[in-house]
Amino acid sequence: MAQINVAELFKQTRRKLKLSWVAGLNGGSNTLTSETVTKPSLALIGHLNFVHPNRVQVLGCAEMDYLRSLPPDEAITAIENLYSTDLAAVIVANGEKVPKSLTVAANKHAAPLFTSTLRSPELMEILSHFLAQAMADSISLHGVFMEVQGFGVLVKGEAAIGKSELALELITRGHRLIADDIVDFYRISPDRVEGRCPPLLQDFLEVRGLGILNIRALFGDNSVKPTKPLDLIIQLEMADKLAPQNLDRLSIKTLHEEVLGLKVSKVHIPIAAGRNIAVLVEVAIRNHMLLLRGINATKQFTQRQQREMKKNRA
């Protein structure tokens, strides 16, 4: 089960959300989990709600006005009730002044209290998006992940088959590297799996005989990209290891591979001496584009052949 603690959440979002940590410094280890995200009854982020408190409470102008409208004793009681729940953190948005009772409660219950100058709806939108990505189901796969002609392409194959050399050729042709060797994939929405490069490997490509290459330094910033949705899987296979009966000359069947429960289109490309694999990959992606538009060359050829056969019988 994916999770993130409040200290890491603050570290990764403080600039974008313009956060300041004002109280509850001992609560950095409080965690938010993916299980919380998926349960509708346990909303992860929300405005002040004393009936169903959220894991991260966002207090905007209306919420702070409500607290200020309460008599001091009732306001303290309401805040104590809020902090007595399984609360991870509180964010006071809109640059609102933080009452002392909130600070005292945050320190008492070791629940971080942040302030932000952003408007509460904007803050919630950004934070919700961040948490959805940070705590999505994930898997790490071996291969090279590229952006080729705008599509996210995972190149797979056994060791030493030439994946990195293919990636280098594609980069020289203007395409972009996302990750080499290990790719982290996240199910960020029901119909989308996103690939990311582990921080340790960013910008690097290992090519036998050349060693580790810094692609950004060699080819510029446009040669690399941090993330990309997965659109297509290219499986490289040695042609001499494939039995003739396993070679699909017409590609009548559309192949798929499941990644985090999502079916992703897959193309097998046999590797043999003299074959320009980079060109084959580019054409495979162009053909994938046509298939998405409903243009299937194999079906067109088959239909044309059947028409000719009918003419010959007549």
* Residues with catalytic roles: 142, 163, 181, 249
Q: How many CB atoms lie within 10 A of CB 214?
A: 12
CB 80 within 8 Å of CB 109 = no
**Residue 85 CB-density burial (10 A; 0-12 exposed, 13-18 middle, 19+ buried):** middle
Hey, is 52 helix, strand or coil? coil
**Cα distances (angstroms) measured from residue 57 to each of 64, 178, 179, 219, 310:** 12, 35, 36, 45, 71
Distance between CA atoms of residues 16 and 81, nearest Å: 30
How many Å is the Cα radius of gyration of the chain?
A: 27
| Contacts of 219 by beta carbon, 8 Å cutoff, 6+ apart | 171, 172
- In single-letter form, the type of residue at position 300 comes to Q
Question: Six-digit token pair at 149?
Answer: 């002609």
- Let me know: does 41 contact 73? Beta carbons within 8 Å: no
Amino acid at 134: A
Measured distance CA(63)–CA(47) in Å, rounded: 7
